[in-house]
Structure 1
Amino acid sequence: MDDLTLIRDFAGDAPPADRATLAAARERLLTEAAHPRRTRRLVPWIGGTAVTAAAAVAAVVSLLPTAPAPTPPGVGAPPVAGAPADADPASVLVLAAAYERTQPDVVPRPDQFLHLHNGAYRAWLSIDGTHDGLIDTGDGHPVPAPGCRDGAAVVHKGNTAIGTEPCEPRPAYDPDMPTTGEAMVAHLNAEVFNDPGNPNSVGKDVLSLFESTYLRPPARAALFEAAATLPGLTLADSPPVDGHPAVAIGWSTDSGHNGQLLFDAASNEYLGFRTGNTEVSRSTQTIVDAVGETP
């Protein structure tokens, strides 16, 4: 039996966190810390040009948060209230984590695909990394995303297969992702960050988890809880995202690049990201059965 099953079986129903509880949780997230491990590995990056703007995440993710007790995900869970008018960035992220823990927990099959959609960009990425996917940047020339089978992947020139090359599967879904803020920060420092001293690199690494991999609700919640420990967060109003009133959690780097994660101002649902002053479309992820299938 895994941790998520234990949570579902034994945690029981929990009401949405009130403001006092969130304040206490935030204090724990920001004060109960430990030093991270040093061995790091970069996660694969897909469709990266848009995401380099997330460059903002500072490299000091050495704080290990103690996350609030998770609410079991599932259909019919109570909605999470929006952030109060005087909320700070960390509180919004904690509320976003609470929202994720109310969502249905969909476990994908190995033969399915993660469908990503943001504006003109669409991608179908293999859940287990062995099936052939597709990436469409909206330029009219979709490119194959070959799966890795028996240690070999097809090499394409344009859309024409010209041979194979050695490979390792790059699954779009990792069933072992941490489900608490503390464990997620340890995972980021041990397995994800390639260059923790470089804010651009850290930004891409963190946002790639949001935008290019499938995270089940407890893991998404843990990532928001981990992000809440980052120093230098800013909270700002945002133009609506596809009709949703939004707030923006931002970071800045010494080079002047800016990146923002956008959240629904009422429900705290993650909506997408913004690069500087560019327009933003809502980011969505769905599990589908075949390349080309859309919700």
Structure 2
Amino acid sequence: MDELDLIRTRAETVGFAPAEHLAPARERLLAAARGERRHRPRRWFWLAGASIGLAAAITAVVALTPADQVGVGAGVAHADPVKVLAEAANTALKEPAKPPRPDQFLYVKTEHADHHIREVWLSVDGTRDSLIAGFKEGGCRNGKAPMYGTNDPRKEGMLQDCAPRPVYRTDLPTTADAMLAYLEAEAGDQKNSVNTMGKNVYGLAYEQVLQPASYAALFEAAARVPGLTALDHVTDGAGRPGVGITFPVPPGSSPEAKPMVVVFDATTYQFLGTTDSAVTVKTYVDEVGQRP
């Protein structure tokens, strides 16, 4: 086994600690090296102990250095948000397109970190009544939608003007440039807010269905948003491990304001949710209340 094989072996078995621990480890290694030069042992002793010493040194560095700084291991790509989002785009593009029937519903089950479960049944074409976390929402038919859950019982079921809002989106851009322009238009006067952009990215990936090319364009457009950071070894709201992309809050925000952290599977780069929530089921069903 040569040195590179040894490094790979150690990198796969030793955990990674925060970068702030690197400096003390580096000082210890340098001090040891200085002592080695002052008290150089005979060559036969160095050769006999080379593998052991190298293994110990690698263990110290790998254990205290993130993968992106060591340059080994599967976590290298995770250190760069652009690379992570590019991989997410590639994964999305490979997903087979599965157009639903217009009369079906999108069922999404979301698990939150506080163990709360959210379930929604959303009309594919927007013309049928949906059920969102226990609340009924009227479908838009012939420009009119019934009102439900109003504060005034007399208005319950009354019709109001509307436009259908299909949950299966075939109207979205399929290139990064066009998708970024779309996201900025959706953000309006908040288009310079990285956090707002993150929420809009999440909103499209969450309880809607895009065509594979639009999903890819979404993540490619997100990669162009400035100020993003990648977080290794995060978990989504269901405790599943992944890599996180952080969309920070604007400077001067309230201390209670939290950054949006979108989580992807660390191996497949599939969208999982956020650090607070996890999309655990997302599929089509034939009627409201039906579960796969």
The counterpart of 2:212, out of the listed 217, 236, 250, is 217
Once the two structures are TM-superposed, the CA of residue 224 in structure 1 deviates from its matched residue by 0.4
Relative to the length of structure 2, the TM-score reads 0.63
- Counterpart-to-counterpart distance in 1, 2:182 and 2:279: 27
Alignment of 1:266 onto 2:267 = yes
Q: Which residue of 2 aligns with 1:177?
A: 172
Q: What is the 5 A alignment of 1:60-99?
A: 84=76, 87-99=79-91
Q: Which residue of 2 aligns with 1:157?
A: 149
The counterpart of 2:245, out of the listed 239, 242, 249, is 249
Q: 2:174·2:214 contact (CA, 8 Å) conserved in 1?
A: yes
- Code of the residue aligned with 1:113 in structure 2: it is F
The RMSD of aligned alpha carbons is 2.4
- Counterpart-to-counterpart distance in 2, 1:200 and 1:269: 21
- Counterpart-to-counterpart distance in 2, 1:260 and 1:231: 15
For residues 243 and 156 of structure 1, do their structure 2 counterparts lie closer, same or farther at Cα, with a shift above 3 Å needed? closer
> SS of 1:101's equivalent?
helix
Once the two structures are TM-superposed, the CA of residue 282 in structure 1 deviates from its matched residue by 3.5
> SS of 1:157's equivalent?
coil
Once the two structures are TM-superposed, the CA of residue 86 in structure 1 deviates from its matched residue by 6.3
Once the two structures are TM-superposed, the CA of residue 188 in structure 1 deviates from its matched residue by 2.5
- Counterpart-to-counterpart distance in 2, 1:239 and 1:204: 18
Q: 1:246·1:263 contact (CA, 8 Å) conserved in 2?
A: yes
> SS of 1:156's equivalent?
coil
Q: Which residue of 2 aligns with 1:167?
A: 162
Q: Matched residue pairs, number? A: 204
Once the two structures are TM-superposed, the CA of residue 280 in structure 1 deviates from its matched residue by 3.4
Q: What is the 5 A alignment of 1:17-166?
A: 84=76, 87-119=79-111, 120-136=117-133, 142-157=134-149, 161-166=156-161
Once the two structures are TM-superposed, the CA of residue 197 in structure 1 deviates from its matched residue by 3.9
For residues 228 and 200 of structure 1, do their structure 2 counterparts lie closer, same or farther at Cα, with a shift above 3 Å needed? closer
Q: Which residue of 1 aligns with 2:277?
A: 280
Identity of aligned residues (%): 40
> SS of 1:115's equivalent?
strand
- Code of the residue aligned with 1:122 in structure 2: it is E
Relative to the length of structure 1, the TM-score reads 0.63
Deviations 1:29-57 (A, max 9, x none): xxxxxxxxxxxxxxxxxxxxxxxxxxxxx
Give the number of the structure whose alpha-carbon radius of gyration is greater.
2
> SS of 2:147's equivalent?
strand
- Code of the residue aligned with 1:146 in structure 2: it is G
Deviations 1:136-156 (A, max 9, x none): 1xxxxx110110111111112
- Counterpart-to-counterpart distance in 2, 1:216 and 1:179: 8
For residues 263 and 201 of structure 1, do their structure 2 counterparts lie closer, same or farther at Cα, with a shift above 3 Å needed? closer
- Code of the residue aligned with 1:246 in structure 2: it is G
For residues 169 and 85 of structure 1, do their structure 2 counterparts lie closer, same or farther at Cα, with a shift above 3 Å needed? closer
Deviations 1:250-274 (A, max 9, x none): 0212215311010111111111012
> SS of 2:272's equivalent?
strand
Unaligned runs of 5+ in 1: 1-81, 137-141
- Counterpart-to-counterpart distance in 1, 2:279 and 2:178: 28
